[in-house]
Structure formats: structure tokens, C-alpha cells
Amino acid sequence: MSAAPRLTFRRSQRLAGRGCFKHVLDGRARVDGPQIAVHARPNDGPMHRMGISIGRKVGSAAQRNRLKRLLRESFRLDQHALPQEAPAPYDFVIVVRPHEPLALADYRAILAAAVRHLHATWTKRHQRQHTRPTDAPAQQPDC
């Protein structure tokens, strides 16, 4: 009998620092929605990682912290269902827009749909890149 995967969200799964966020945003792959925009870029690491960008226009500190908790929980619960085949795993940056807070199930559905779309985008780019010769790979920041 195989053990169920652990549903944790470790510090190593968090994106931190301006350079890491900029690297993901420079990948130019995003899904826009009325509540959040999700940016993604493949990383060469062993697991998916996530960072959240949330501005003061979204609400008070308590509201922003609640939204961050809901988004982290959505990622934590669905992390093992995220794509694992190349070019995955990914670094995700979630940019939160002003909106009325939703239920956890709604954030999970929004995030899952965004990840499916982003994975399809990066899969197409990955296939295109491997069918023609390329220059040296881009440098990744130390995140």
C-alpha cells in the first residue's frame, strides 16, 4: 500500500525576493481573471513553488492576509494534482486584484483552470524550442 502524498506547504515552496518574482513575470505566460492573474515559468527544481503579490487596493491588512491564506491553502491542497511532466515543475506568481473574497473551493477551481492553461502554453513553447536549434539557455536567479 502506498502512502498518500503529504499536503504541506514548506518554506522551500515559496518564492521570495524581487528577482524571483521578476524572473517569473518575465516569462510572459499568464492567465488573467477578474479576481487573480496567475503567472508561471518552468523551474529546474524538484517541486512547484508559489509567490503571492497583493497590493493595498485589495483591502485592509486582515483582508489581504485572509486572501493569502486561502490562496496558499488552495495551492497546498492541489499541489500533487499539478502537472509533473516536462516542462514542469513551475514557479507561480499570483497577483491578486480587488474583489469580494470567495470560498476556498472557488479559489481552487480558479487556480486549477489557470494552471491547466499555463501548462498547455509552456508545453507548446517547450515543443517549439526542442524542434529548432537554440542559443544558450537563459540564466535563472538564485531563488
Ordered DSSP codes for 56-74:
GGG--HHHHHHHHHHHHHH
Instruction: Kindly state the cell numbers that stand for 76.
Output: 497546498
Separation CA 74–CA 65 (nearest Å): 14
The per-residue pLDDT for range 72-117, each reduced to its tens digit, is 999 999 998 999 888 889 999 999 999 999 999 999 999 999 999 9
Q: Any idea which architecture 12-127 has in CATH? A: 2-Layer Sandwich (3.30)
Total number of residues shown for the chain: 143
Q: What global pTM score does this model have?
A: 0.86
